[in-house]
């Protein structure tokens, strides 16, 4: 008889993980492509096109909001609690980092665009790290 590992996922967990991945993947790819387009200046020099490409970043951002809401709806109560705790930690980091960016801008230090992007990325990484830190303890 074959032994099964104790931390093997159920079919519903596997389906939730697959659905989570499929929800996030298009938004992450779109954000990456839009970042490359903006970084290499491929959107043209006309002001109207710059506005269009800048606002186009809202679409993957809204897709990410949709993915978060869908993953919270699919989760059970315990998973939802852990996800919301991690979101709260990430949001707190974002608030404090944006506050620090404001103070740095008042002092004339740094580039606002880069500091805001770093703050946003850092808060997402803290959110993921908090979720990963909490997850192994529950298995």
Whole-angstrom distance, CA of residue 96 vs CA of residue 101: 9
User: How far is residue 104 from each of residues 114, 115, 126, measured CA to CA in Å?
Assistant: 12, 9, 21
**Is the domain of 62 the same as that of 82?**
no
What is the spatial distance between Cα 127 and Cα 124, in angstroms, rounded to a whole number?
5
In a domain, 1, yes or no: no
**Distance (Å, whole) CA 68 – CA 84:** 10
Q: What are phi and psi of 44, to 5 degrees?
A: 95, 175
16 and 26 in a common domain: yes
Whether 128 and 85 have beta carbons less than 8 Å apart is answered as no
Judge if 47 and 33 occupy the same domain.
Answer: yes
Query: Both tokens of residue 129?
Result: 């790290």
Per the structure, how many domains does the chain have?
A: 2
- Both 82 and 59 in one domain: the answer is no
Give the C-alpha distances (Å, rounded to integers) separating 112 from 7, 38, 42, 68: 45, 16, 22, 27
Q: How confident is the prediction along the chain (139 residues), in pLDDT tens digits per residue?
A: 555 556 677 787 788 778 888 888 898 899 888 878 777 777 666 666 777 877 888 899 899 889 888 888 888 888 889 889 999 999 999 999 999 999 999 898 888 878 888 888 889 889 889 988 877 655 5
In-domain check, residue 6: no
Q: Say whether both 45 and 99 belong to one domain.
A: no
- End-to-end CA distance of the chain: give it in Å, rounded: 24
pLDDT at 46: 63
Q: Has residue 2 been placed in a domain?
A: no
Domain's final residue, options 45, 74, 103: 74
Which range marks the domain in which residue 110 is found? Answer: 76-139
- Whether 5 maps to a domain, the answer reads no
pLDDT confidence of residue 4: 54
* Residues 45 and 87 occupy one common structural domain: no
Task: Tell me whether residue 58 is in a domain.
Answer: yes
Q: Are residues 42 and 98 in the same domain?
A: no
66 vs 52: CA distance, rounded Å: 22
- Contact call for residues 33 and 91 (beta carbons, < 8 A): no
81 & 113 share domain: yes
Q: Which pLDDT score, from 0 to 100, does residue 138 have? A: 52
In the prediction, which pLDDT does 35 show? 79
Same domain, 80 and 134: yes
């Amino acid at each position: 008889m074959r032994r099964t590992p104790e931390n093997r996922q159920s079919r519903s967990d596997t389906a939730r993980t697959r659905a989570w991945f499929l929800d996030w993947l298009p938004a992450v790819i779109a954000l990456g492509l839009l970042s490359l387009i903006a970084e290499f200046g491929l959107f043209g020099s006309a002001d109207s096109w710059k506005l269009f490409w800048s606002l186009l970043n809202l679409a993957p951002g809204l897709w990410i909001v949709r993915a978060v809401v869908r993953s919270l709806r699919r989760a059970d109560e315990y998973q939802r609690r852990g996800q919301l705790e991690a979101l709260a930690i990430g949001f707190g980091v974002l608030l404090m980092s944006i506050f620090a960016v404001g103070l740095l801008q008042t002092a004339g230090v740094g580039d606002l665009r880069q500091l805001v992007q770093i703050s946003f990325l850092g808060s997402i990484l803290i959110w993921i790290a908090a979720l990963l830190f909490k997850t192994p303890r529950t298995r």
